[in-house]
Amino acid sequence: MSREQRGPNEKLGAVLALAGISNAGLARRVNDLGAQRGLTLRYDKTSVARWVSKGMVPQGAAPHLIAAAIGQKLGRPVPLHEIGLADADPAPEVGLAFPRDVGQAVRSATELYRLDLAGRRAGSGGIWQSLAGSFAVSAYATPASRWLITPADSSVAREANSAEGSGAPLKVGHSDVQKLREAAEDARRWDSKYGGGDWRSSMVPECLRVEAAPLLLGSYSDEVGRALFGASAELTRLAGWMAFDTGQQEAAQRYYIQALRLARAAADVPLGGYVLASMSLQATYRGFGDEGVDLAQAALERNRGLATARTMSFFRLVEARAHARAGDAQAAGAALKAAEGWLERSREGDNDPSWLGFYSYDRFAADAAECYRDLKAPRQVRRFTEQALSQPTEEFVRSHGLRLVVSAVAELESGNLDAACEQGVRAVEVAGRISSARTTEYVKDLLHRLEPYGDEPRVVELRERARPLLMAPA
């Protein structure tokens, strides 16, 4: 769809003529670029004719895709103003940059924080709804490579000026940073127990806007600044993880990119690796196993000799998940073996980061089970799932629900329909108590696998129990 017409867009027509691109050719290029980002676009030569002759402005990411398509043909960047689309919605670019300069990094992150709240206040999901489904794994290439080349900034000390905020700039101290760290700890606990869509978890974007943004725009020494960037990176990664859990893949991607940039400013290489691991899990979940491997290995490469044994174990586990999704059983097995070895070498007194508190042997077993599910090895899935489900569930309710679904799939693939349905019923009960689109998707996948047994009483019962969950608004 396009916005109001404004008269012929002579600039766009002239640049198309310069590039030698026909209307049909531009439509095809824009549709292809959209498909690479997960968008289904159906522009044709008539659409382009409207853009040129009537000055209609396409919505969402289309203006940026038009510029990219023409730029590919010309072999140079094409800014929006050159093609007469300078007044198009700037939102598609917000949060995707990984600036080299620290000051620009602060502006990039705080701009994203403010945009998210504007979207929420609009009452329609704002940018995230208009760009739903536009996750592009290629957007992670530049952030990952820049982080690998320079994982820390030389200095982050900052002297603010009043023009950057609504009042006098803040003088940031360690107590301000501690408040952000406490907020991150609370958010991690609520997220694990109630899902990323729980109202308590959804306060994280608000905290970033109201608390973190003014601090980042304040004045601070290099020492305080490093700590501030680290705490802000943790909160930003959490916002991304919660968006990922609730199915807002585009929002998650932007938060992750900014979290990685903030971790670089913090000179916190393990935290940067954790963000890369989160990116890897998202890419793997979206079906990009090879890219997931690259992101996990980037986390590993820079952390050799720096991260604790438990941290390295988690990074290797994430790598195993990606190898399994890519169908490489040998590489997945090797990564799992390495992850288990690192975990066995970890000790109680190790200086593990606080954000790794969720990771223990039962989490290793749960992810190992998912690896073998992807590799279609139900016997191994059952073995690891039994270990994963043997631990208490009060703190990690969502994880317990996911493990129950994985267990159900393993039972089904082993020919145990009754056991599969029994685990499925338990999973549905857990899913009904949390707000997690990811858990719901796991349940949907199980029901899809059960379709050949649709008339069986236990399957009918499970489907009926799951109906309220599947019909709940996203």
State the pLDDT at residue 435.
Answer: 77
> Cα 238 vs. chain centroid, distance in angstroms?
10
Q: Tell me the β-bridge partners of 2.
A: 58
Three-class DSSP category at 451: helix
Token pair, residue 150, equals 């320079």
Matching CATH topology for 10-89 and 102-373?
no
CA nearest 207: which of 235, 229, 188, 228?
235
Q: Cα separation of 172 and 174, whole Å?
A: 7
State the pLDDT at residue 88.
Answer: 62
CA nearest 137: which of 282, 236, 275, 320?
282
Q: Tell me the β-bridge partners of 220.
A: 158
Task: List, for residues 108-119, the tens digit of each pLDDT value.
Answer: 999 899 875 444
Altogether, the residues listed in the chain come to a count of 474
> Cα 186 vs. chain centroid, distance in angstroms?
20
CA nearest 284: which of 371, 357, 198?
371
DSSP single-letter state for residue 355: G
Q: Tell me the β-bridge partners of 219.
A: 171
Q: Cα separation of 320 and 333, whole Å?
A: 7
Q: What one-letter code names the amino acid at 320?
A: A
Q: What one-letter code names the amino acid at 66?
A: I
DSSP single-letter state for residue 210: I
Indicate left, alpha or beta for 249 from its phi (over 0: left) and psi (-120 to 50: alpha): alpha
CA nearest 198: which of 206, 190, 188?
190
Q: Are 274 and 297 in contact (CB under 8 A)?
A: no
Place of tokens 């690891």: 384
CATH architecture of 10-89: Orthogonal Bundle (1.10)
Helix axes 269-285, 289-303, angle to 10 degrees: 170
Question: Angle at the Cα of 266 (from 261 to 272), degrees rounded to 5?
Answer: 55
State the pLDDT at residue 64.
Answer: 78
Tens of pLDDT, residue by residue, the chain (474 residues): 455 556 899 999 999 999 999 999 999 999 887 776 556 788 999 999 999 998 888 877 788 789 888 988 887 767 788 898 876 655 557 888 999 999 999 999 998 998 754 444 333 344 444 444 467 888 899 999 999 999 899 999 999 875 555 556 789 999 999 999 999 888 888 777 666 655 455 688 889 999 999 999 999 999 999 999 999 999 999 999 998 888 888 889 999 999 999 999 999 999 999 999 999 999 999 999 999 999 999 999 999 999 999 999 999 999 999 999 999 999 999 999 999 999 999 998 899 999 999 899 999 999 999 999 999 999 999 899 888 887 666 667 888 888 888 999 989 988 999 999 999 999 998 888 877 888 888 999 999 999 999 889 999 999 999 998 887 655
Listed by start position, the domains of the chain span 10-89, 102-373, 374-474
Token pair, residue 250, equals 């585009």
CA nearest 67: which of 109, 127, 114, 9?
9
Q: Cα separation of 165 and 9, whole Å?
A: 37
CA nearest 214: which of 234, 230, 199, 228?
228
> Cα 335 vs. chain centroid, distance in angstroms?
23
Q: Cα separation of 268 and 265, whole Å?
A: 8
Query: What class has domain 102-373?
Result: mainly alpha
State the pLDDT at residue 318.
Answer: 98
State the pLDDT at residue 133.
Answer: 43
Q: Where are the alpha helices (DSSP H) in 20-159?
A: 23-36, 45-53, 62-74, 102-121, 126-130, 141-149
Q: What one-letter code names the amino acid at 331?
A: A
> Cα 164 vs. chain centroid, distance in angstroms?
29
Token pair, residue 77, equals 């960047």
CA nearest 266: which of 109, 141, 117, 115?
109
**422 membership: H or E segment, kind and range:** helix 417-431
* pTM value surpassing 0.85: no
Q: Which residues of 79-105 are buried (b: 16+ CB within 10 A; e: fewer)?
A: ebebbbbeebbebbebbbbbeeebeeb
Q: Are 399 and 366 in contact (CB under 8 A)?
A: yes
Three-class DSSP category at 83: helix
Task: List, for residues 227-266, the tens digit of each pLDDT value.
Answer: 999 999 999 999 999 988 888 888 899 999 999 999 999 9
State the pLDDT at residue 132.
Answer: 42
Q: Cα separation of 429 and 439, whole Å?
A: 11
State the pLDDT at residue 218.
Answer: 94
State the pLDDT at residue 254.
Answer: 93
